[in-house]
Amino acid sequence: MQPQRSAILLTCEHAGNQVPQQYATLFAGHEALLDSHRGWDPGTLRMGNHFASKLHATLVFREVTRLLVDLNRSESNRVIFSSIVRELPLEQREEILQLHYRPFRREVLQWINDKVAKGTFVRHLSLHSFTPQLGNQVRQAEIGLLYDPARKHEQEICQRWGSELRKEFPGFRVRMNYPYRGISDGHTSAMRKVFSAEQYAGIELEVNQQLFAKPSEEVGQMIAGLCRSYQKTLENDHAGN
C-alpha cells in the first residue's frame, strides 16, 4: 500500500573533527590526521543545514571525529575504531560506544520508528564528502549517489536525481554507487535491515571535497544547486511504487 505522506531525515555522521576532552591526550600529535579526510567530512554540516531549511527536514548530526568512533560503521566492523583507538582497553572502547555512538544511532532509529508507526514513508539522506585522491587513486567524480540496487525506489530516485544534477551542473561527473557501493556497511544499510522498502529509502550523497575548498560563496551556490536538484526530483516522485 502506498504511503499517504513522507518525511525527510538528514544525517551527517562525520560532521566534525572534534575530540572530547577526556581523549585529548590520546590524539596529541595527530592534528594533521584530524584535519584530513580521515578525521571528518568537510562541508557536510553546512550542506545539512541548508537542506534541512529548504526541505523542512530533520537533521541529526555529530561533530565528534570519526577517528574516535565511526558513526557510519556497524559495531561489528573492526574499522569502527581507528588505529589510534583500537588498542585501548575494552572498557574504554565500550565507554566510547556508550557515550558517542549508540545515542546517535538510537536517535535516528527512534525518529524513523515514530514516523513509520504513523504510516509515514521515510526518505533518509546520509550526507558525506570524499577525498579527491585516495592513495594513488584519483576519484573520477564530483558527485556520487549510493543506494541498494535491490530496492527499486532507491534506484529510481537516484537515477532521476542524477539526471537533475547533470542539468544543474553540466560539467560534473555524477556517478551511481561511487566512490563506494550503496550496500557496503553504513548507516543506511543498517536501517534497511530494520525497515522495508515500503517504509524507508536510504540514499547516501557523496560530494567531492574539492568542491568545498572553493570560495564560500561558490560553495553556497553549489549546495543550493544540490538541494534544488533534489527538490525537483521529488516533485513527481511516488514513494513505495
Name the residue among 90, 39, 44 with its Cα closest to residue 69.
39
Identify the CA nearest to 176 among candidates 201, 146, 209, 204.
146
SS3 67: coil
For the chain, give every domain's residue range.
6-239
Neighbouring-strand partners of residue 120 = 5
- The CATH superfamily assigned to 6-239 is Zn-dependent exopeptidases (3.40.630.40)
Predicted confidence (pLDDT) per residue in 130-149, tens digit: 999 998 999 999 999 999 99
Q: Mind listing the pLDDT tens digit for each residue in 113-128? A: 999 999 999 999 999 9
Are 133 and 195 within 8 A, CB to CB?
no
Percent of the chain with pLDDT over 90: 95
Question: Is it the case that residue 240 has pLDDT exceeding 70?
Answer: no
Which three cell numbers, joined as nine digits, stand for 7?
518525511
One-letter amino acid at 58 equals T
| Chain segment 152-170, per-residue pLDDT in tens | 999 999 999 999 999 999 9
Best CA proximity match to 58, nearest among 101, 3, 142, 120 = 120
Segment 95-113, tens digit of pLDDT: 999 999 999 999 999 999 9
All three cell numbers of 192, joined, read: 534497511
How much is the pTM?
A: 0.95
Q: Is the pLDDT of residue 3 over 50?
A: no
Can you list the alpha helix ranges (DSSP code H) found in the chain?
31-35, 44-55, 83-86, 90-96, 102-117, 152-168, 187-192, 216-235
Cell match 546517535: residue? 104
